Structure 1
Amino acid sequence: MLSDRFVGGRSVGTMENKELVKPHKGTVKTIEGKNGDVIDCVNIYQQPAFNHPLLKNHTIQMESGSIPNVRNEELHNVELFQDWHENGECPTRTIPIRRLRADEHYAPHGTTPSVAAETDNSNGYEFAGGIIRDGHFYGAHASLNVWSPALNDGFLSASQVWLISGSSPEQNRIEVGWQVASPSKEPKLYISWTRDAYKSTGCSDLNCPGFVQTSNKIALGSIIKPSSSYNGKQFEIGITIYKSYGDWYLKVKNEVLGYWPMSLFTHLSHSAETVFYGGMIFNAKLNNHHTSTHMGSGHFPSEGHGKASYVRSIQYMDGHGKFKDANGKLEIDVTNPSCYDVNVVNNNNIVYGSHLYFGGPGYSEKCP
């Protein structure tokens, strides 16, 4: 599905010393971060979303309605930040858009976790997580601890939440999480969407029309800090996706970023049928062996808290607008447990709720 050149939404060539593309249309201010990210503060009414033919006459919904309550949202209440904020802020009525480098290209992710687990048609993508199937879900919430996994000979490692509805070739998806994608070595907040399994629609972040951003505080595709450390401090990011006034809204930590308008979708215009929580890597099988890319922390779930990557407080939103713990509904969904595994804990733990540990190191004697 994807060539080796374009994997997990990024070209795999180096981005060092590469020329930046021109500023985005509607830029009123530009801010540069310490890590080299250049952020354009773009007039909210001139953002890329409105280039979509279905959104030509769209009115921005600045109010997201009543934000549903989620339990145990802040276990590790540490502010994750993007360092461009140290050099300025985007004015009100603008949104921050990370400026791509000239050699960056974005391509869709591969198949869905449920398809990859049930068939041998994963197109190189491998998953380890928990899945809730066969329902009508109007939102999802989870807290994911953030890592900087080693890519080694690989191109992509991510932790995320997926909302899925319909079947290929008309499958609708929304994806939110953090990812490390070559040649970067640090995690970045990202979103992605499609209405036809990425056959002709959808992309990551704001690199094509679709997602309507309303927040001036968070730049999609920009590095988030700090990362968790093995047997040390854990830093996490809370993700909440919920349906309000028909649209799909996204809240990261305590900030509502924006929404996917209902008109973008067919099956997801009503509800999600499947929700996935967990990790993903891309295995290009270079040198005729499995990639040694780390998933999550690079350690197996059996090592437990502080060592393995986790997703906690796993919840879904029912048809009454209430978030419920996934207790009893969460199933294991893993493509290759010898390389990356998952341990699902289906109980209503007072601190973690339903949660899971996932990950692994990739290439080894057991993962040839």
Structure 2
Amino acid sequence: MHLRAILQIVVAISLLLSYAKIEARQSLSKVEDLELERQLKLINKPAIKTIKRKYGEIYDCVDFYKQPAFDHPLLKNHNFHPEMKPTLPNLQGDDTSSNINKPFNIGLKGGGCPTETIPIKRITKDDLIRQRLLSHIRGADESPDGDDIESSILDRNNSIATVQIPYNSTNKITGAGAIISLHNPQNLSGHQFSAGRIKVQNGIESIQVGWIVNPYVYGDTHTRLYTYLKTEKLACFNTRCPGFIHINTAIPLDGDLPGSTYGGPIYDVPMYIARDISNGNWWFKFGPNYTSVGFWPSKIFTKLNEFATSVEYGGIVYSPPGVPEPSMGGGYFPVGDLKKDGYFKNSTYLTDKNETKSLDDIEVKLYANSPNLYRVTDYPNSGVESGNLVLYGGPGEHI
């Protein structure tokens, strides 16, 4: 098909989605509208305080004990509390001396939420309508409704460019982290997304942390902090299904992040997933001081309740069949320049002996399943400042 014709089709689909969303809101019956209101009351927990962010989204400060995690049937009789602290080894790999990265603050204004509450992004009626609309467009036979759509998108038909600690049943990995550069790919819409992530996995179960641009989930193209959970029974972003126990009063999941500019300025931030030595819970650590954001309890897993057997560092994108794939990372193939490339500096992992190891210390695999669109490179012993350096990215498909 001629490229101009393809462009016209893509534009038409985009306009149709925008128009259909407006129509869907206007054509809701009273029964449907009441049902959406009922769902919102179940999803959005009572707020002790609300905080509005610069893009207009609202974060509710929810009582720690009423957060969505405790809707999980295995967490009903828990003994967790808001002052919990993990027992972890000293995480190495932080870098505050770089002269190319620019500081930023993801924290909520005014110091965040009150003590013993946690911030959760409020779900709106438009969020539910968008989810409902896109599930109808995909068709009942293609994908189930709700968060299952998210899991099907994230688990299939993806393009990835990653450095991997390959699966081995004898691997006993208790954590992984790096300093991740942040980006804001612009050519995304509808069901597409683009992300940079660290992923730990054992069998079907996995945890991811990183940045993402995801219009389907958020209704915009802002760069946001994200986590993703997959167990044998659950799969979802952030707190959209029960599992992640949030403890930090100021750092929100879904929080907006800055995007680096090709050639500078550059934004980056340390992120780490680490297993608690004392009880096996998996903690998410964020920022220069490795601040605890929250954790995934070991009891919700059947595989990751022990160790991870593989790890990935790199980029992932998704686009529906027939729609040009978006850019990844900084939007260009890596050239070995930290002012231009998507990167993971000081890429490390934790052993079952709680030792921090560089990726230099283990045999890794480079994997890019669409090498004409996206690429990844690994630079062992790249220097004292950068440690093991993973570079990734690509332009995707340009019309």
TM-score interval (norm. to shorter): 0.7 to 0.9
Q: Tell me which residue corresponds to 2:239.
A: 206
Match of 1:47 among 35, 58, 67: 67
Q: Tell me which residue corresponds to 1:91.
A: 114
Shift of 1:302: 2.4
Match of 1:294 among 314, 327, 334: 327
Q: Tell me which residue corresponds to 1:223.
A: 256
User: Which of structures 1 and 2 has the bigger CA Rg?
Assistant: 2
Matches of 2:157 and 2:185 in 1, distance apart? 18
Shift of 1:87: 5.8
C-alpha contact 1:145 1:310 (8 A) present in aligned 2: yes
C-alpha contact 1:72 1:351 (8 A) present in aligned 2: no
C-alpha contact 2:313 2:344 (8 A) present in aligned 1: yes
Q: Tell me which residue corresponds to 1:352.
A: 386
Match of 1:72 among 89, 94, 99: 94
The 3-state SS of whatever aligns with 1:302 is coil
Which runs of no fewer than 5 residues in structure 2 stay unpaired? Answer: 1-16, 26-35, 132-146
Closer, same or farther: CA 110–349 of 1 in aligned 2, 3 Å: farther
Which runs of no fewer than 5 residues in structure 1 stay unpaired? Answer: 1-11, 113-121
C-alpha contact 2:161 2:376 (8 A) present in aligned 1: yes
More helix by share: 2
Matches of 2:354 and 2:156 in 1, distance apart? 36
What code does the residue aligned with 1:25 have? K
Q: Tell me which residue corresponds to 2:284.
A: 250
Q: Is 1:191 matched up with 2:227? A: yes
Match of 1:128 among 161, 176, 179: 161
C-alpha contact 2:347 2:358 (8 A) present in aligned 1: yes
Q: Tell me which residue corresponds to 1:8.
A: none
Matches of 1:110 and 1:345 in 2, distance apart? 33
C-alpha contact 1:69 1:322 (8 A) present in aligned 2: no
What code does the residue aligned with 1:148 have? N
Matches of 1:49 and 1:334 in 2, distance apart? 34
Q: Tell me which residue corresponds to 2:143.
A: none
Match of 1:144 among 177, 180, 193: 180
Shift of 1:70: 1.1
Which deviates further from its counterpart, 294-303 or 255-264?
294-303
Deviations 1:67-122 (A, max 9, x none): 52212343557543237x3366210100000012223244434588xxxxxxxxx7
Q: Is 1:158 matched up with 2:195? A: yes
The 3-state SS of whatever aligns with 2:126 is coil
Closer, same or farther: CA 273–75 of 1 in aligned 2, 3 Å: farther
C-alpha contact 2:89 2:355 (8 A) present in aligned 1: no
Matches of 2:395 and 2:266 in 1, distance apart? 19
Q: Is 1:341 matched up with 2:375? A: yes
Matches of 1:208 and 1:13 in 2, distance apart? 27
Q: Tell me which residue corresponds to 1:5.
A: none
Closer, same or farther: CA 108–75 of 1 in aligned 2, 3 Å: farther
What code does the residue aligned with 2:296 have? W
Residue identity over aligned pairs, in percent, reads 29
Matches of 2:75 and 2:113 in 1, distance apart? 24
C-alpha contact 1:302 1:343 (8 A) present in aligned 2: no
Q: Is 1:100 matched up with 2:133? A: no
Match of 1:82 among 73, 86, 106: 106
Matches of 1:341 and 1:359 in 2, distance apart? 6
Q: Tell me which residue corresponds to 1:30.
A: 50
C-alpha contact 2:102 2:266 (8 A) present in aligned 1: no
Matches of 1:221 and 1:66 in 2, distance apart? 25
Matches of 2:73 and 2:347 in 1, distance apart? 35
Shift of 1:250: 0.9
C-alpha contact 1:340 1:359 (8 A) present in aligned 2: yes
Matches of 1:111 and 1:317 in 2, distance apart? 29
The 3-state SS of whatever aligns with 2:330 is coil
CA RMSD, aligned part only?
2.5
Q: Tell me which residue corresponds to 1:118.
A: none
Shift of 1:247: 0.7
The 3-state SS of whatever aligns with 1:351 is coil
The 3-state SS of whatever aligns with 2:328 is coil
Matches of 2:194 and 2:45 in 1, distance apart? 31
Matches of 1:13 and 1:354 in 2, distance apart? 44
Closer, same or farther: CA 86–285 of 1 in aligned 2, 3 Å: same
Deviations 1:192-218 (A, max 9, x none): 11112xxx4131111111011111011
Match of 2:296 among 249, 260, 265: 260
Matches of 1:145 and 1:321 in 2, distance apart? 26
Number of equivalenced pairs: 332
The 3-state SS of whatever aligns with 1:362 is coil
Q: Tell me which residue corresponds to 2:265.
A: 233
